[in-house]
Structure formats: structure tokens, C-alpha cells
Amino acid sequence: MHVTAIIAAAGEGRRLGAAVPKQLLDIAGRSILERSVTAFTSHDRVDDVIVVLPPGVAWMEPSVAGAVRVVAGGPRRQDSVANAFDCVNAGSDVVLVHDAARPFVSAALITRAIDAALEHGAAIAAVPARDTIKRVERAADNLVISETIPREAIYLAQTPQAFRRDVLSDAVEMGRTGVEATDEAMLAERAGHRVHVVEGDPANVKITTASDLDAARRASSPPAIARIGTGYDLHRLVEGRPLILGGVTVPSDKGAIGHSDADVVCHAVIDAVLGAACEGNVGLHYPDADPRWKGASSIPMLRDSVRLIDRRGLKVANVDVTVVLERPKIAPYIDDIRSQLASALEVPIDCVSVKGKTNEGVDAVGRGEAIAAHAVALLIWGASVGRGL
């Protein structure tokens, strides 16, 4: 079975009043259009996606580059969909039509629409009306109720709308005869097809006005703008091992022993970063039973941790590290350590603090038998970077 999705994004969005088409506006770091397109490119039953854009508008997000085809829209929605339909693979069994202005469509809803189109030929997502419905008419300069309509009979249409290819072909041809319609389901009805309804989703809202956009941005905002994590690591010191701190080799007659390079600074920072993101710890992601990390530098582990939290939409804001070591003194090497950490964390060097302390001769660290490090990391959501806290 072959499924094609058409994303209708050729409107100008004048009611929203933005300087650019509304589908290119941002919600929590991603454009409305990217969110809508990605819902279909990532769906395991959708084989190809066609995006209809206003003539002359260039758009291509790196996340979907190569995964979509772009066609120019027409003066009306039905013209835009017709242009896209002309490019649909002749072997497509089901064609979905979705408004780009509905960026929160779920995979489950897409699946329901596909299944209904296969069974019935044509289907739309819709939600039942929750309020009492009144038909009104104008009397002089006033609006008056002419009828109360049973709300059980009223459903509010959404997208995606889904059609077997032959059904949508009939609908498109009906639109080309001059019939005006607000959506493809209406054209399919005019062409003599019965359109079935599948359960919609109240979260599948349409962004039409500035207040809609504000509400969507509020709903998509993370629950907090900052997250804090702490990290701790300790290793025994032995002769014959290099002492590596934050990727920097510090001259010493003893070094830390461990499966990797036993870099307590990196390990403490990794734990702090992962902890702030609630993603476990260094042992979970880089276990000492994994031969890949035997004798390995811990800097790549730190870089990998940054990539992991980046997938959660989080960025490192700053880290603070305290190294507890009786000897040698690490003051001459602190700037090099900060530089290495800053590079791995993808932050400026002034966002990294490293301090050295002794344990005043107390316990194994104080006796020079071990080294320890404490770290604190502050993470912020990617959309907040550069906006201040």
C-alpha cells in the first residue's frame, strides 16, 4: 500500500496579521509548517509528502530536506490541492490532505484517517460540538436566534482528510468544473461520494488568529526555563597512570585508575548534565563493561551527552566544577581544562568554572590516595537560548 500526504500551506494567513505567511512562524523553536510536515514524514505508513507553498516562497527545513516535494499553490485552496494532486504518484492508494496550520496532528489520528479511507473511500477527522448550537439571522441591525440545532448532529471538521486516490480524483475534477468548496470532503460529497467521520483530536487545533498562535506557544512552552543537575566522581590514584582532568593531562607522579581515562572532571560534569535532563548517569550510558570505552578519552563521552540532551531540546547554560585533590596543584592548568570543557559542552569558556581544593589531609583524598570532583550544571531549553532567563 502506498500513502501520499499533501500539506496545504499556500495560504497567506492574513487574519493573523504577520509579515510572513503564518505557516512559517515559530512555535517553541520550530515553524508551524515544519511541525505539520514532520508529523507525516515521520509516520511509518506515509510514503511521500507533497508540500504546497505560495508561489515564490522558498522553504525547506534541514529536518525534512530530501523527504518532501514542493509545488506552487493556486488562488484557492482547492486549486492548490489540485496542483499537488497532479504530482501524486500514480500508484498511490490513499492520499491525505492536511492543513499546515494544524501543527499538532498526532500519529494516531493520521492512522485512523488512513484506515477509514481504505475501508470507506473518503474520511475526515472531526470532533463533536460541545456547546449548544444556534442558527442566527439578522433582523435590522441585530442578530436573533432562528433555530436551536441539536448539537449531537454537529461535528467540527479537522484535517487530515483521507481519500482513496480515485475518490480524490473525482473531487479534484469537481473543483475544476467551477464548484466552490472549503475543503476536499465537500468536493467529494458533490461528486457523489459518502464521506465518513473518524474521531478527531481536540489538541489538533488550527492556527488562524494571533490569539491562536499565542495559545499554541504557551501550550508548547516547557514547564520550566531552567533545570539543574549535580554530579560527583571519585577515583583511586595509582602510580603509572596519567592524571587527566577535563581532557588535559596534568603532570603528576600518580594518575586515576578506571575503565576509561578516569577523568573525574568529565565524569562529574556528565553526571550533572544527564542528571539535569533526568537521563541517568555516566555508568548507564558509558558502562565499564563496554569495550568501546576501555582506555578512551572522556571528552567524546561528554560531547555525546550534549547531543543526547539536545534531542530533548535542552542546552547547557553553564557548569561549575570543584576538583578535590591534595597534589599536584591544578591552578596552572585550569584555563586549559575550561577550554576543553567549553568546546565539548558547546558553550563559551566564560560559562565554565573550574576550581581546585584540597581535603586538608582528611580521608583517602586527603592522604593522596584518591581524587574527587563535584559538578553543577544548569540547562535551559533550546528555545530560551539567547533570550535570557
Alpha helices in the chain (DSSP H): 32-41, 77-85, 107-120, 165-176, 184-190, 210-220, 264-276, 282-285, 299-310, 334-345, 363-366
What span, in angstroms and rounded, lies between the C-alpha atoms of 270 and 282? 6
What's the angle, vertex CA 258, arms to CA 229 and CA 370, rounded to 5?
A: 75
pTM > 0.75:
no
**Interval 320-366: pLDDT, tens:** 999 999 999 999 999 999 999 999 999 999 999 999 999 999 999 99
Q: Which of 153-167, 300-314, 360-374 has the lowest mean pLDDT?
A: 300-314
DSSP 287-349: -TT-GGGTT--SHHHHHHHHHHHHTTTEEEEEEEEEEE-SSS--GGGHHHHHHHHHHHHTS-G
Give the mean model confidence (pLDDT) for residues 266-294. Answer: 93
pLDDT band at 241 (very low <50, low <70, confident <90, very high): very high
CA 123 to chain CA centroid, nearest Å: 28
Across the chain, what does the average pLDDT equal?
92
pLDDT band at 311 (very low <50, low <70, confident <90, very high): confident
Q: Which of 13-27, 60-74, 126-140, 172-186 has the lowest mean pLDDT?
A: 13-27
User: How far are the Cα atoms of 22, 310, 347 from residue 389, in angstroms, in the given order?
Assistant: 27, 18, 16
DSSP-based three-state secondary structure for 142:
strand
Q: Which domains does the chain have, with CATH numbers?
A: 3-220 (3.90.550.10), 226-384 (3.30.1330.50)
What cell does 77 get? 485552496
Contacts of 316 (CB under 8 A, 6+ apart): 273, 306, 309, 345, 346, 347, 351, 377, 378, 379
**Interval 75-96: pLDDT, tens:** 999 999 999 999 999 999 999 9
pLDDT at 363: 95
DSSP 58: -
Q: Quick one: which of 216, 311, 309 has its CA closest to 26?
A: 216
pLDDT band at 387 (very low <50, low <70, confident <90, very high): very low
**pLDDT over threshold 70, residue 388:** no
Contacts of 247 (CB under 8 A, 6+ apart): 263, 266, 297, 298, 299, 337, 340, 341, 344
pLDDT band at 132 (very low <50, low <70, confident <90, very high): very high
pLDDT at 1: 93
Give the phi and the psi of residue 288 in degrees, each rounded to 5: -75, -5
Burial letters 228-250, b for 16+ CB under 10 A, else e: ebebbbbbebeeebebbbbbbeb
DSSP 132: P
**pLDDT over threshold 60, residue 276:** yes
pLDDT at 26: 87
pLDDT band at 114 (very low <50, low <70, confident <90, very high): very high
